[in-house]
A = this chain, B = another copy of it.
Amino acid sequence: MEYTKPLQKLIEYFQKLPSIGPKTAQRLALHILKMDKSEVENFAGAMIEAKTTIKYCSNCFNISSSDPCEICSSISRNKETICVVSEAKDLIAIEKTNEYNGLYHVLQGLISPIDGIGPDDIKVKELLNRVHKENIKEIILALNPSVEGEATALYLSKLLKPFGIKVSRIAYGIPLGSELEYTDELTLIRALESRLEM
């Protein structure tokens, strides 16, 4: 015996979401059945509303309901610095620190030859255009410390050098609150390499 078809279909949709396995998909779908009908309708409506109303800023490619986005059109932000991130969620993570007051550029991906993603598939050209047109003094690369992040950072730094602007990368090292003993070797190597004079 299997679940009835409408339930099976819903489980399959949940299973397509990232980090949702078959067991979790089943639990989520069964939870939907237990919710109030109006709540299910609101949830489904929120999904469609988010998909249809949310646009990307045509300047920095951040998720936004306005174009240009809040950050690009803000008068209180420093317009001479661009922080380059891979995804909108990274931008949010940085915004939450309340430390950075410059602009952003969301690449919407990372260069990954294995997955067939080249520089033309992400917003690299658009970043260069901005450096051309806007009065940018520094580019901060805030990409994940993965193979793809490293490759993309290297590629971008080479492209940006001819502009004669400062190109920096966020520091890799031991996260605060962690213990040296449990830090993986690669992180330790990076932390040693990037040591700062005191």
Contacts and interface: CB of A to CB of B under 8 A. Distances in A.
Counting every copy of the chain, the complex holds 2
| Binding site secondary structure of chain A | helix
B51 A47 contact: no
Nearest to A52: B37
A163 interface: no
A24 to B, nearest CB: 6
Interface stretch (A11-19, A118-126, A166-174, A185-193): A11-19
A112 interface: no
A108 B111 CA distance: 49
From A1, A29, A71, A87, name the one whose CB has the most chain B CB atoms within 10 angstroms: A1
Interface string A26-58: 111111110101001111111111111110000
B7 A63 contact: yes
Interface stretch (A88-96, A139-147, A150-158, A176-184): A88-96
B46 A10 contact: yes
B4 A65 contact: yes
A1 B69 CA distance: 11
A9 interface: yes
A55 to B, nearest CB: 9
A64 B4 CA distance: 6
B31 A1 contact: no
A56 to B, nearest CB: 9
A20 B51 CA distance: 20
Nearest to A51: B40
29 contacts: A1-B70, A1-B95, A2-B92, A4-B64, A6-B50, A6-B53, A6-B54, A6-B65, A7-B50, A7-B54, A7-B63, A9-B46, A9-B49, A10-B49, A13-B42, A13-B43, A17-B28, A19-B24, A26-B92, A27-B89, A30-B63, A30-B87, A32-B47, A33-B54, A37-B52, A40-B47, A40-B48, A43-B44, A47-B47
